Amino acid sequence: MWRYLVPLGIFVVLVVFLGIGLKLDPREVPSPLIGKAAPAFTLPKLQQPEQTVSPADYKGRVWLLNVWASWCVSCRAEHPVLNQLARSSEVPIIGLNYKDGREVAQQWLRQLGDPYTASAFDEDGRVGIDWGVYGVPETFVIDKRGNIRYKHTGPVDQKAVMEKIMPLVHALEKEPA
């Protein structure tokens, strides 16, 4: 009896573990920045280089930081979702234009629409490193006190907006500043 049950048991455990392993996405690296203060930066705006963008400008508000680039194919895929979110004007979306060219990036926004309240121009990717960016596009949710509360790696889709991002934004808006 045991002769059959033991290998069967081991097999079942193995299948369960491999099954869990299949469901995990190795690209999803948990960010150590969740719950910590958003890294500070002051960068020129993409469209108006003489003006600057800084997370400090949005203290007291819940906002999103979306890391994007014109060379990033998945950014094109998520762009309509961001445009739609921007039209609802429920939450400001700040763009972090990561390792891009000023001309092509502006062209990209003219062509596909500009959902960003402001886009910071991070030409050398230094700010990206500070925010732990490793796979553009990435989207962060920042609370009123300037802490990062959530990070979405990869293109945001309608489902992520409806089920994760917006419920969190609404909950954070109830928090005291």
36 vs 170 by CB, closer to other proteins: 36
Rounded CA gap, 159 and 115, in Å? Answer: 18
15 vs 29 by CB, closer to other proteins: 29
| Closest distance to other proteins from the beta carbon of 7 (Å) | 12
Alpha carbon separation from 122 to 59, 77, 105, 114, 176 (Å, rounded) = 21, 21, 11, 17, 31
| Closest distance to other proteins from the beta carbon of 29 (Å) | 5
Over its C-alpha atoms, the chain yields an Rg (Å, rounded) of 20
* Beta carbons of 155 and 74 less than 8 angstroms apart: yes
18 vs 129 by CB, closer to other proteins: 129
50 vs 124 by CB, closer to other proteins: 124
Residue reference for tokens 């998945």: 74
* Beta carbons of 75 and 115 less than 8 angstroms apart: no
* Sign of the four-CA dihedral 62, 96, 32, 19: positive
130 vs 173 by CB, closer to other proteins: 130
| Closest distance to other proteins from the beta carbon of 99 (Å) | 7
Query: Which residue ranges make up the site for other proteins (CB under 8 A)?
Result: 26-27, 29-33, 99, 124-125, 129-135
| Closest distance to other proteins from the beta carbon of 95 (Å) | 19
| Closest distance to other proteins from the beta carbon of 177 (Å) | 26
